[in-house]
Structure 1
Amino acid sequence: MTGRGPWKFWSTLACIVLLLMVDSTLAGRMLQQQASRQRRLQASSDDRAIPWHAPPVQSFLVSDGSWVDCIPIEGQISAHHPTLTDHIIQMMPTSPRRSSGLTRRSDLHPQLFAREHGGCPDGSIPVQRADPNRPLLKKTQSPVSIQAVDNAGTTREIHEYAVTGLPESPQSYSGAYSIFSVNGPDLGVVATDFSLSQVWVVDGYYNDSTLSTIEVGWQKYPDIHQNEDQPLAPHLFVYWTNNAYNQVNETGIHGCYNLECPGFVQVNNKWVIGGAMPSYTTLAQNAQAESEVEIEVLYDPTQFVWWLFLNNDPVGYWPSSIYEGGRLGGSAHQVQWGGEVFFLKDANTVAHSKTAMGSGAFPAAGYPVAAYQRNITFADATGNFFYPNPATLDGLDTKQVTDPLCYDISIQLGNFVNWGTYFFFGGSGGNNPGCVGKL
């Protein structure tokens, strides 16, 4: 028996070495396969004067009259951004998201396209079809600078706000989260007005044109959805700017709505950026419960991108490289939540626009009549999430209301189980006799 000891030892050792060699070979092959599966942005080559998506692999007609094109994920418009040439697409985040606080009342997807068609084929993303020759619509300002913008001396672009946020603090914030009620406010002038609920992640400053933002929420903006039979439903939107909302140039690299210019990189095959959200409540419906959508923006320090989550789905991201001068390069100096209304005002017009904010009800109406955002949380520079103190959100430097007789906001805490920090917001604009249009 003692003679067999060395033989068994060396035999066992040889087997272990052989297994390690096999495992190493398999691991190498897996790494090679993984590398070969990496998807890279590849700009399509065509004769268009401006950057656009690659040709679709499939297209779907949605019941609201819109078309959704399924674009190869590598050929989406962001491939044309100069900082994203041959960019390796990040299919999943590496940073943990905030735990969901949404109590879903239905398994239905919040958007028409996914309800009716399920999603795009694997390897493609849904893009709402738009006329590539239509001028890109843009914002003109942020709630950090509430003012009227002159337009040729005859009309003014008016932005009004009911917004709250965190104090300005350089390199302090890396994420924002809330659960939005989804509402259908009435518009005074359907052709030009918009009304929205959103979150802002902000870096830089308006006055020196360095303002850089990540913005996401829902809006009613028929001018973007002119080809739809029912454009007055609220639509999911994203927006970004890296130069304080200055005009997008011919290369389209300074910011835009949705996927109309290179910048935001989408990976999800079900969510349509710019798509209709059919589950919503209007003031007239006075629903017993309001529809909701869960929105989160979070920086991933491993990938150097800002991820967008919708109902916990990682939908896509803003690479930090699309921002200039190091802005939004891992942190932001301000986070804001709230509502915004836009309308055009003639120089001779005294009356205020009748475009409503939120549901059209003022905050005092409460649930389920007034619009709200609940479970408001923010991520600090390390990525940890916290509920903000309502007193902080209600401070003179954090709560901004253009005219409380037109639109208002009310920050609260603890009056509803599992709502955390929240606020009601909105108003009826010029439908309220006290709203006289001071701008």
Structure 2
Amino acid sequence: MRLFLILVILCGFYNEAYGKGSLDIDIKLKALNKPALKTIKSTDGDIIDCIDIYKQHAFDHPALRNHKIQMKPSVEFGTKKTTTIPNNGSSEQITSQVWSKSGNCPMGTIPVRRVSREDISRASSPSEFGRKTPHRYKFLDNALQHKGNFNITAEKINQAQPRLRSEAFIVALGYNFVGAQSDINIWNPSRVEASDYSTAQIWLVGGLSDTFESLEAGWMVNPAVFGDSRTRLFISWTRDAYTKTGCINLLCAGFVQTSQKFALGATIEPVSSASSTQYDITVSVFLDPNSGNWWLTCANNVMGYWPGTLFNYLKHSATAVQWGGEVHSPNVILKKPHTTTSMGSGQWASYIWAEACYHTNIRIKDYSMQIKYPKYLSEYADEYECYSTKLHRKTYMSEPHFYFGGPGRNSRCP
């Protein structure tokens, strides 16, 4: 009888400890995986669910309960490309994803990568799944003290002090950015540790350092979220420096997807390889002046938008635009040993074309509504001995390529 009572008590403790966790995962799965009208099994192992566009996760956000979906932007970002390929190399644009070879989503639906129980179990808790850690951008406070364009200095940007992430980027600062674009070179970094992620992306940022708002888009390798080391399309957003709001892709309510052709979080192939063909994806983020929504296009495909009602500072414009990459890890910024997670191609920026990852056709749009190369750009890397930058022109008059990245831990970055 005593043994029986002990077993009952132990079972009670077990259910209390583990049953609730399992229940929380069930609740999260139900919120993320909406009923599918069609399911596509991709050759890379992903399952893509075709979800009714009007029943997507975005509309679970309290601010969007009565939101009327905007099917397309009232304006376009536009195109102004002048790229010339260095050293007579070759570059190709990505126009589709791996899953689309296995089927298509019907009209009136959007493709959503299905989340598994194992995906959520890798997070510290279901509520933290797909979220970024809090961050600070001290240089935003400096920028707001200046009128118009502000050419940031290394001393000012050095105050950024990011937490758990190491960034390498170029930045343009001003009061009224309403769009940004670049062609992002696609690679699969050779080393990304299981608890880390590595990105190549664009950021549009507004507000103050402690409460900044951000829109982000590009590609990512994130084993903790996706369970593998594939290169995947991603977006992210926050309205409070990632303290309580925001996430990547559709893993929280917010971004309204309209595309039936591209899936956020799905694999991008092919990827670039050294001394061979380079692959790019054109990414644009721009404000619709009529609706106040921030639209995203990838590979000339209109993906959807972040509703303007989600934001305060970004209701009208962004203060800063960044192009580059980041590595998120508990072992960056003065931590030893440093993470071995690489950024970009894993090669130093100084190796340039067909070796290092790049952004090119770098453009902004302001209230003049003209597509421009930014007048002032500053380079920065949190850990230059781990991840580097190089804004490079083949000739004085040629279109610049911004190269960035590096291997992480090495003899100079122990």
* Bucket of the pairwise TM-score, normalised by the shorter protein: 0.7 to 0.9
Cα distance change on mapping 1:182 and 1:143 into 2, 3 Å: farther
1:139 equivalent in structure 2: 132
1:200 equivalent in structure 2: 203
Q: How does 1:252-401 map to 2 (within 5 A)?
A: 254-281=245-272, 285-323=273-311, 326-345=312-331, 350-389=336-375, 392-394=376-378, 399-401=379-381
Q: Quick one: which amino acid aligns to residue 426 of structure 1?
A: G
Q: How does 1:83-122 map to 2 (within 5 A)?
A: 83-99=63-79, 101=81, 109-117=95-103, 119-122=104-107
Correspondent of 1:160 among 156, 159, 166: 166
- Bigger shift: residues 234-243 or 105-114: 105-114
Q: Quick one: which amino acid aligns to residue 165 of structure 1?
A: V
User: 1:166 and 1:107 mapped to 2: Cα distance?
Assistant: 25
- Largest Rg, 1 or 2: 1
2:183 equivalent in structure 1: 179
SS of 1:280's partner is: coil
Calculate the TM-score normalised by the size of structure 2.
0.79
2:54 equivalent in structure 1: 74
The structural deviation recorded for 1:48 is 4.2
Q: For structure 2, which runs of at least 5 residues remain unmatched after alignment?
A: 1-25, 85-89, 139-159
CA contact (8 A) 1:233 1:278 kept: no
Q: Percent identity?
A: 31
SS of 1:166's partner is: strand
1:4 equivalent in structure 2: none
CA contact (8 A) 2:206 2:320 kept: yes
CA contact (8 A) 2:136 2:241 kept: no
1:220 equivalent in structure 2: 221
User: 1:371 and 1:347 mapped to 2: Cα distance?
Assistant: 22
1:28 equivalent in structure 2: none
Cα distance change on mapping 1:423 and 1:303 into 2, 3 Å: same
TM-align CA RMSD: 2.6
Q: For structure 1, which runs of at least 5 residues remain unmatched after alignment?
A: 1-46, 150-157, 248-253
Cα distance change on mapping 1:99 and 1:266 into 2, 3 Å: same
CA contact (8 A) 1:187 1:193 kept: no
Cα distance change on mapping 1:307 and 1:165 into 2, 3 Å: same
Superposed CA deviations along residues 244-287 of structure 1, whole A, max 9, x for unmatched, are 1013xxxxxx2111011111000010101011112113xxx424
User: 2:55 and 2:168 mapped to 1: Cα distance?
Assistant: 38
Q: Quick one: which amino acid aligns to residue 433 of structure 1?
A: S
Superposed CA deviations along residues 190-237 of structure 1, whole A, max 9, x for unmatched, are x21111111101111232xx21110001011011112xxxx2121000
User: 1:315 and 1:307 mapped to 2: Cα distance?
Assistant: 8
Calculate the TM-score normalised by the size of structure 1.
0.75
Q: Quick one: which amino acid aligns to residue 198 of structure 1?
A: Q
The structural deviation recorded for 1:426 is 0.8
CA contact (8 A) 2:237 2:246 kept: yes
Cα distance change on mapping 1:113 and 1:347 into 2, 3 Å: closer
1:127 equivalent in structure 2: 112
The structural deviation recorded for 1:350 is 2.5
User: 1:348 and 1:181 mapped to 2: Cα distance?
Assistant: 29
The structural deviation recorded for 1:420 is 2.6
SS of 1:341's partner is: strand
The structural deviation recorded for 1:416 is 10
Q: How many residues align?
A: 353
The structural deviation recorded for 1:54 is 3.3
